[in-house]
C-alpha cells in the first residue's frame, strides 16, 4: 500500500497478462499502414488529422479554475494563515484529481487510436511552450497554469501511446519540434507566416485552401511522420519489424529534415 502527495492510499495489484499484438491496421486493398496525426493544443486537448477534436473535459476546467484560485491564496494569505500545509494539501489533491480525469480520458482515447491505426504521429514538445512559460508572472499566472496542464496532457498522451504501441505492435513517430506543422499548408506545403495563437482558421495565400488551424497541423504531422516511417523501414534489414518508436532526431542521418 502506498500513499500519494494528496494523502490518498493505493493498493497495487499485479496481474500477469499476455498481451498479443493486434492484427495490422492497413488501408483496404494494400500494405499501406493506416496512419493518424495528432495535434495537441490549448483550444482542444487533441485534434486528429480527420478533424476530430477531443475537448478539454468540463470537469477539468472546473478543477483548473479552483486550482488557479488556490494557488494564489497561499501567497496572499501567508501572514494570516495559521495552516499553510492545509492549502498545500488541497492543491495536491486537486492536482491528483486533475491527473486522474485526464488519464482516464486519454486512456480510452489512445486505446481506440492504437486499435484503428498502424502508425501514430505526434510532435515533440514544442519549445515555444517552455520558453513562454519562463516569462509568465503575476496576472499571466492563469495562462501559464493552463499551458503547464496542457504540457502535462501532452506528456501523458505520449506516455500512453508509447507503451500501447509497444504492446500492440504499432509505431509511434515523434516529429521534430522545429517542423513547422502549424504554418505549413497541408495541401500545397507552402510555409506561411507565423500564426498568432488566436487565429483558429486561415486560408493559404499560395493555393487558397481553407484550414482549421489544428486539423491542418495534424495532417502535416501525419504526412511528415509517414515520410519518416517509410525512410526508416526502407533503411532496416529485410524481415525486421518497424520499431515501436521512431524519434525524428535519432534518425536525422537517414531522414534529412523536411
Ligand atoms: Zn496551400
Per the model's pLDDT, the better-predicted residue between 161 and 30 turns out to be 161
Q: Ligand 1 centre from 202 Cα, in Å?
A: 10
Distance in angstroms (rounded) separating the CA atoms of residues 150 and 43: 10
Q: What is the mean pLDDT of residues 95-112?
A: 88
Q: Is the pLDDT of residue 91 over 70?
A: yes
Average pLDDT, the chain: 84
Q: Ligand 1 centre from 150 Cα, in Å?
A: 29
Would you place residue 164 in the very low, low, confident or very high pLDDT band (cuts 50, 70, 90)?
Answer: very high
Strand residues in 41-192 grouped as ranges (E): 46-48, 53-54, 119-123, 171-175
Per the model's pLDDT, the better-predicted residue between 61 and 132 turns out to be 61
Q: Ligand 1 centre from 205 Cα, in Å?
A: 7
Q: Out of 27-41, 133-147, 184-198, which region has the weakest mean confidence (pLDDT)?
A: 133-147
Q: What is the mean pLDDT of residues 208-212?
A: 97
Q: What is the pLDDT of residue 239?
A: 86
C-alpha cell at 21: 499484438
Would you place residue 81 in the very low, low, confident or very high pLDDT band (cuts 50, 70, 90)?
Answer: low
Q: Ligand 1 centre from 209 Cα, in Å?
A: 5
Q: Ligand 1 centre from 220 Cα, in Å?
A: 12
Q: What is the mean pLDDT of residues 58-81?
A: 68
DSSP code string of 136-176: --GGGHHHHHHHHHHHHHHHHHHHHHHHHHHHHT-EEEEE-
Domain ranges of the chain: 25-55+108-251
Q: What is the pLDDT of residue 130?
A: 47
DSSP code string of 210-226: EEEHHHHHHHHHHHHHH
Q: What is the pLDDT of residue 96?
A: 85
Q: Ligand 1 centre from 187 Cα, in Å?
A: 5
Q: Is the pLDDT of residue 102 over 90?
A: no
Q: What is the mean pLDDT of residues 16-26?
A: 78
Q: Is the pLDDT of residue 80 over 90?
A: no
Q: Is the pLDDT of residue 134 over 50?
A: no
162-168 long-range contacts (CB < 8 A, ≥24 apart) are: 162/244, 162/245, 164/110, 164/111, 164/114, 165/114, 165/120, 165/244, 165/245, 166/244, 166/245, 167/19, 167/21, 168/19, 168/21, 168/22, 168/114, 168/115
Instruction: Just list the catalytic residues.
Output: 39, 123, 214
Among residues 188, 164, 61, the alpha carbon closest in space to that of 116 is found at 164
Amino acid at each position: 500500500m502506498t500513499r500519494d502527495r494528496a494523502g490518498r492510499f493505493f493498493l497495487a495489484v499485479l496481474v500477469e497478462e499476455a498481451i498479443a499484438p493486434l492484427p495490422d491496421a492497413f488501408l483496404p486493398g494494400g500494405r499501406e499502414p493506416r496512419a493518424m496525426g495528432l495535434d495537441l493544443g490549448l483550444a482542444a486537448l487533441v485534434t486528429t488529422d480527420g478533424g476530430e477534436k477531443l475537448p478539454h473535459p468540463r470537469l477539468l476546467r472546473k478543477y483548473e479554475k479552483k486550482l488557479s484560485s488556490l494557488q494564489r491564496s497561499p501567497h496572499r494569505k501567508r501572514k494570516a494563515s495559521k495552516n499553510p500545509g492545509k492549502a498545500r494539501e488541497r492543491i495536491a489533491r486537486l492536482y491528483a484529481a486533475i491527473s486522474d480525469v485526464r488519464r482516464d480520458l486519454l486512456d480510452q482515447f489512445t486505446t481506440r487510436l492504437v486499435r484503428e491505426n498502424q502508425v501514430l504521429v505526434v510532435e515533440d514538445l514544442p519549445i515555444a511552450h517552455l520558453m513562454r512559460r519562463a516569462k509568465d508572472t503575476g496576472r499571466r499566472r492563469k495562462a501559464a497554469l493552463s499551458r503547464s496542464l496542457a504540457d502535462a496532457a501532452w506528456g501523458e498522451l505520449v506516455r500512453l501511446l508509447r507503451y500501447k504501441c509497444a504492446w500492440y505492435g504499432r509505431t509511434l513517430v515523434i516529429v521534430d519540434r522545429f517542423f513547422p506543422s502549424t504554418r505549413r499548408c497541408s495541401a500545397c506545403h507552402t510555409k506561411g507566416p507565423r500564426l498568432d495563437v488566436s487565429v483558429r482558421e486561415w486560408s493559404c495565400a499560395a493555393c487558397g485552401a481553407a484550414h482549421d488551424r489544428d486539423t491542418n497541423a495534424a495532417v502535416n504531422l501525419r504526412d511528415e511522420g509517414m515520410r519518416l516511417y517509410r525512410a526508416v523501414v526502407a533503411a532496416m534489414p529485410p524481415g525486421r519489424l518497424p520499431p515501436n518508436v521512431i524519434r525524428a532526431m535519432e534518425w536525422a542521418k537517414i531522414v534529412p529534415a523536411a
